[in-house]
Amino acid sequence: MPIEIKVPSLGESVTTATVGKWLKQPGDAVKTDEPVVELETDKVSVEVPAPADGRLAAHAVAEGDEVDVGAVLATLEQGAAGASAPAKAAPAAAKADKPAAQPAAVAKPAAAQAEAPAETDYDVLVIGAGPGGYVCAIRAAQLGFKVACVEKRATLGGTCLNVGCIPSKALLQSSENYHAAGHDFAAHGVVIDSVKLDLARMQARKADIVGANVKGVEYLFKKNGITWLKGHGKVEGTGRITVDGKPVTAKHIIIASGSDSANLPGIEVDEKTIVTSTGALELSEVPKRLVVIGGGVIGLELGSVWQRLGAEVTVIEYLNRLVPGTDNEVASQFQKLLVKQGFKLKLGHKVTKAEKTKKGVVLTVEPAAGGAAETLEADIVLLAVGRTAASKGMGLEEAGIELDKRGRVVTDAHFATNVPGIYAIGDVIAGPMLAHKAEEEGVALAEILAGQAGHVNYDAIPGVIYTWPEVASVGFTEEQLKEKGTAYKIGKFPFMANGRARALGMTDGFVKVLACEKTDRVLGVHIIGPCAGELIAEATMAIEFGASAEDIGRVCHAHPTLSEAVKEAALGADNRSINI
């Protein structure tokens, strides 16, 4: 069946072009991405490639003709390009007859081998408008690049702003206020006879906050001259993508597609009774019984929202602890405080079956190490077992881009993939799936493309759990330092001994500073307590600048503040804490 070769998108505001020169004549054999015709506009000269292997049929237009974007230039009889078709079949034959020789027989896809277009629509094209993508686009625009960003959502901001970080924090704050009004204010002399929940208004407030944030990103795109290409982006190879099937070219293509909620076999998500974080943010009523599958950050944050609003929350975690990767001492204290709040924990267990009923969901739960199964009934089940790289359906493998076993894009130290001119950042590559990590990578990559020394220090990426109390960490944990064989010393200070924490009535938790035993350099800081997510910034800066524990301890901290607990813990690394 003939394939039409059409005039591609020629950039913003360009709707027509002139046929400059035919590079291939009727009857000529052509290969995928081989230039067929040259088009000229008042801005650029563009070579239009063949979309597939084949033989060129008659020209539909002549040299010198003016043509519109989308107009047919010629037709291509597919699969008639001489030896090209058998060459593609060879790897499959080799695989069937002699599997061991298969890697040597497989050639890189033609799209990956193609050279970048001589002229392009954009200098930088980012696929994905989440925190990594939109920040990268803005920084690239600041550096003078002509930038476009592809986003298939109706709004910018990605998962984080639309159905992740921002709406969850809005509900966390609202639910914390509701709980405090009913349980904590009386201790301050503020007596409220009855507290009524208006969940619809709470959800509306969340929606307003999300709306303001995503509109803010749209404003920033306009301010920085960034083109928003609305649609699904698919990578075709070096310098080329399509957006909902329409070709677009760029010197540099950046994959910032983010991540998706991970699934479990046998558990069918419908976002109504069995939900991911997306559905958990949109519940129209408080469930009586909420079961959270997964004891990580997302499950505990959203579990906290609904527990504060009145749900009975049970957390099922495969491991024998919560929040894996967190400092053990902090995780242990965190677990005790959650149980004190009313959380029910089933650690070292797994869910093997989820059956929907008229009343909700019946879960079959078994010990992870083996043993008798039991059933749990729930009105709502939240599946929160992590996230996976959003790398499917984007043409990455077809374009020859290497993915690892977990579906993440493989990159080098400068975020480059194995295909020239294509890069990746954020959740879709290795490393912690954190919005701020993606942002830093976006800035660094934009600066690298501009010839600057963009860099990310992965030892100084903070992590925060926005429960009550908050948990925040940066740098190495005790367990990691022991594994590395690094000699260290510890400084700890409890919030119970901090004047501001007492005034707030928020004395749970502590600050823990880990410093090198020989040099006193700060190696890690771990905080559980009030405003931990804000306090961790000081520790992150200390690690970034190679500060010692003594450096933090000698900095004058305002009194009374929670930040004094960080200073006291730093002093404690040398047994010099003052207020304990």
Q: According to the 3-state scheme, what is the secondary structure of 256-280?
A: CCCEEECCCCCCCCCCCCEECHHHH
- Is 414 designated active site? no
**What gap in Å lies between CA 137 and CA 127, rounded to an integer?**
10
DSSP assigned state of 61: S
**What gap in Å lies between CA 329 and CA 511, rounded to an integer?**
11
Name every residue whose Cβ is closer than 8 Å to that of residue 138 and which is 6 or more positions away in sequence.
220, 221, 224, 226
Bridge-based pairing of strands 3-6 and 274-275 is unpaired
**What gap in Å lies between CA 167 and CA 164, rounded to an integer?**
6
**What gap in Å lies between CA 216 and CA 230, rounded to an integer?**
17
The pair of structure tokens assigned to 359 is 């009343």
CA 552 to chain CA centroid, nearest Å: 32
Place of tokens 């813990």: 569
Dihedrals phi, psi of 427, to nearest 5 degrees: -65, -20
Residue 114 and residue 138 in contact, taking contact as beta carbons nearer than 8 Å:
no
Helix, strand or coil, per DSSP, at residue 472: strand
Give per-residue burial for 124-148: e unless 16+ CB within 10 Å, then b.
bbbbbbbbbbbbbbbbbbebebbbb
The pair of structure tokens assigned to 500 is 């501001």
CB 526: neighbour CB atoms within 10 A? 29
Out of 188, 414, 455, 559, which one is annotated catalytic? Answer: 559
**What gap in Å lies between CA 129 and CA 257, rounded to an integer?**
8
Bridge-based pairing of strands 387-389 and 422-424 is unpaired
Residue 400 and residue 108 in contact, taking contact as beta carbons nearer than 8 Å:
yes
Dihedrals phi, psi of 279, to nearest 5 degrees: -70, -30
The pair of structure tokens assigned to 163 is 């159905």
Residue 64 and residue 19 in contact, taking contact as beta carbons nearer than 8 Å:
yes
542: left (phi over 0), alpha (psi -120 to 50) or beta: alpha
Pinpoint the alpha helices (H) of 317-434.
328-341
- Residues noted as catalytic: 559
